[in-house]
Amino acid sequence: MFIVGINGSPNHDGNTVFLLKEALAAAHKSGAKTELLHVAEILQGVEPPFCEICSSPCDGVCGEGNKLGEASDLLRGVDGIIIGSPVYFGTLSGQLKAFWDKTRVLRREKALLNVVGGAIAVGGARFGGQETTLKAIHDMMLVQGMIIVGDGCQDFDCGHQGACAQRPAEKDENGRRRAHILGQHVLEVAGATKELRVR
């Protein structure tokens, strides 16, 4: 199993990355290969920086010979994706939205169909928009045909929409625990649905 984390924060070592690493560590401990992508880094030098639907269906020209193309190639082979975002005005970051809009070529190819997805959100307050951010991430995943799971797992409880934390994330014990459970759940469901992913 190959599980990838996608950091939707502009920061490489902030709260969102902390929780993504917790989730990926849980998946890795259970035998998965893992990798972490940073959307701010991937989008550097991509012109235009936002999708303008320059072709329909998408031909992926904006990802030719750059980090966006490399990220797309990597995502074509994943079994699970865990997307994390800080909460910006009650929803996901602009960087994450810009990146996901650039995955239209993967939608055309059905590359993420039946890939398992989970979401992580970190807010500045305990009730700071984390659940609306998770739901926005879920909506993006649904449009790709992904299988969405929450932060429940057979060995724990049924969970909720995903792993949520209040910054600083490293001091939010519940957020850390839920991120671990989410990582395990994504891996568990990815293993059970492997035959659904046609490569």
Letter for the amino acid at 131? E
Interatomic CA distance for residues 84 and 16, integer angstroms: 6
- Asked if 156 and 97 touch (Cβ cutoff 8 Å), the reply is no
Is position 199 within any domain? Answer: no
- Which CATH number does the domain housing residue 26 bear? 3.40.50.360
Given this model, what pLDDT does residue 100 score? 98
Cα–Cα distance, 111 to 73 (Å, whole number):
10
Mark residue 110 as left, alpha or beta (left: phi above 0; alpha: psi -120 to 50; beta: remaining).
Answer: left
CA gap 36, 134 in Å, rounded: 19
In a domain, 141, yes or no: yes
Domain count, the chain: 1
Structure tokens at 23: 């989730």
What is the per-residue pLDDT across 16-68, written as a single tens digit (0 to 9) for each?
Answer: 999 999 999 999 999 999 999 999 999 998 988 889 888 889 888 889 999 99
Alpha-carbon distance of 82 to 90, in angstroms, equals 19
pLDDT band at 123; cut points 50, 70, 90: very high
- Beta-sheet strands, E only, within the chain: 2-7, 33-38, 80-86, 116-123, 147-148, 163-166
Mean pLDDT, the chain, rounded, equals 95
Is residue 198 situated within a structural domain? Answer: no
Q: Quick one: average pLDDT of 78-85?
A: 98
Q: What is the structure's pLDDT at 55? A: 86
Task: For residue 116, count CB atoms less than 10 angstroms from its CB and return exposed for 0-12, middle for 13-18, buried for 19 or more.
Answer: buried
Residue 163 domain-assigned (yes or no)? yes
Q: Which two tokens stand for residue 93?
A: 């970051």
Q: Tell me which residue range forms the domain holding 33.
A: 2-193
| Per-residue pLDDT band at 186 (split at 50, 70, 90) | very high
Rounded distance between C-alpha atoms, residue 150 and residue 141, angstroms: 13
How many Cα atoms within 13 Å fall on the side-chain side of residue 125?
6
Mean pLDDT to the nearest integer, 134-162: 95
Q: What is the band of 199 on the pLDDT scale with cuts at 50, 70, 90?
A: confident
Q: How far apart are CA 114 and CA 128, in angstroms?
A: 31
